[in-house]
Structure 1
Amino acid sequence: MAKVLVLYYSAYGHIETMAEAIAEGARTEGADVTIKRVAETVPEDVARANHFKLDQAAAVADPGELADYDAIIVGTGTRFGRMSSQMAAFWDRTGGLWAKGALVGKVGASFTSSGSQHGGQETTQFSILTNLLHQGMTIVGLDYGYQGQLNNDAVIGGSPYGASTIAGSDSARQPHEIDLDGARYLGAKVARTAAKLIA
């Protein structure tokens, strides 16, 4: 049984919802799944003034525990076409893991959200995936076996680089069911891949 970590940062809850869908997909493949988030670095008064979702159930992850998992699926909203500073700060603390090669051969994947359809989702996913590649991880994307990402009848996310959703400029829009299905598909594929690599 593969051990899968879904690691995320979510300011407004969209990525948290996607993380839960990814975990659901991984569990359908028999994976032992843990959902954790990275620490908030914005002062609490600023976060509250900007309506951040601070009541998230997931525990805060420590970089040292990444080596305990067979697969790590990383999600964060876009920040000017790259990962959030909260997620970047977390990965900046993994130098010791890199020095030991602790994540080499593990499976990695990405997911994200943006305010608009062209809000930097793919470049954000690349900013996530470069960290995973530098750690020596085997990357899994959202392949076109998931046909939902080809849907042109609704405003949806999804790309070959990972699952995604569109939150809207005011963050009021919730993930479309097609996006959630893509997240489940990605979670299941990562779990299957990890199980084969550890067999």
Structure 2
Amino acid sequence: MSSPRIAIIIYSMYGHIAKLAESVKEGVIAAGGSAKIYQIPETLPDEILAKMHAPPKPDYPVISVDQLAEFDGFLFGIPTRYGNFPAQWKVSLVAGARRRHVVAGDLITPRQAFWDATGQLWATGALAGKFAAVFVSTGTPGGGQEATIMNSLSTLVHHGIVYVPLGYSRTFTQLSTLTEIHGGASLLFFLPSFFLYRGLI
């Protein structure tokens, strides 16, 4: 039996997801799979990316949606945008070839987002039964990691892709540590306790 072929598919504007993808690839190979990192097409023009101070893209091949059916599974690397996919993944600005949008004072011609280009694969069930997991990066602790993953499930389910969560079986210690404060919910508990201790409330 051959090792499963895994496509690690990412979008990485500032390099954080790309760095995670390299570690993810090492893990897939260590577990006996074969993995290759791909990136999805950029939808923003170079002049807008320059205004955002985005560095050059990593040197990964750009995947076409036509290649997806070749793989046994996927690991999607998604930077969080307000607890969801960024536009390059999911929000197609193309309602017609002639439609144009103003971004940061400039007129741009939008391009089709990755998932929005998979309609034919969905119609034929080409991705049904394949497996996928998601890894994310946010700008802050508790900045929408779980929300981004949950919001990605709708897309996976529509394609019949089986979501594989990280789970606790091998990561319980890392996921359940209470050695540091993490996320906003922790502060909701910590701050009232702090103020009570100080006699401020």
- TM-score band, normalised by the shorter chain? 0.7 to 0.9
* Aligned equivalents of 2:20, 2:182: Cα separation in 1: 13
* Aligned equivalents of 2:43, 2:71: Cα separation in 1: 25
* Aligned equivalents of 1:91, 1:155: Cα separation in 2: 35
Deviation at 1:48, TM superposition (A): 2.0
User: Which has the larger helix fraction?
Assistant: 1
Q: Secondary structure at the match of 2:37?
A: strand
Residue of structure 1 in register with 2:128 after alignment: 104
After TM superposition, the runs of 4+ consecutive aligned structure 1 residues lying more than 3 A away are: 152-157
* Aligned equivalents of 1:65, 1:107: Cα separation in 2: 15
Residue of structure 1 in register with 2:10 after alignment: 8
Deviation at 1:152, TM superposition (A): 3.3
Equivalent pairs counted in the alignment come to 157
Deviation at 1:155, TM superposition (A): 7.0
Residues 114-133 of structure 1 mapped to structure 2, 5 A cutoff: 114-133=138-157
Residue of structure 1 in register with 2:179 after alignment: 153
RMSD of Structure 2 on Structure 1 (CA): 1.6
* Aligned equivalents of 1:125, 1:136: Cα separation in 2: 16
Residue of structure 2 in register with 1:63 after alignment: 65
Residue of structure 2 in register with 1:141 after alignment: 165
The answer on 1:54 being equivalent to 2:56 is yes
Deviation at 1:118, TM superposition (A): 2.2
Taking only the aligned residue pairs, the percentage that are identical comes to 36
* Aligned equivalents of 1:117, 1:6: Cα separation in 2: 24
Larger Rg belongs to: 2
* Aligned equivalents of 1:55, 1:135: Cα separation in 2: 28
Q: Is the 1:74–1:128 Cα contact (8 Å) retained in structure 2?
A: no
Moved more, 73-82 or 147-156: 147-156
Which structure 2 segments of 5+ residues have no match?
91-112, 184-201
Deviation at 1:58, TM superposition (A): 0.8
Residue of structure 2 in register with 1:20 after alignment: 22
Residue of structure 1 in register with 2:94 after alignment: none
Q: Secondary structure at the match of 1:59?
A: coil
Q: Is the 1:105–1:137 Cα contact (8 Å) retained in structure 2?
A: yes
Q: Secondary structure at the match of 1:60?
A: coil
Deviation at 1:97, TM superposition (A): 0.6
Q: What per-residue deviation string (whole Å, max 9, x for no partner) do you get for residues 98-129 of structure 1?
A: 11111111101111111112211111112222
* Aligned equivalents of 2:50, 2:79: Cα separation in 1: 18
Q: Secondary structure at the match of 1:64?
A: helix
Q: Secondary structure at the match of 1:7?
A: strand
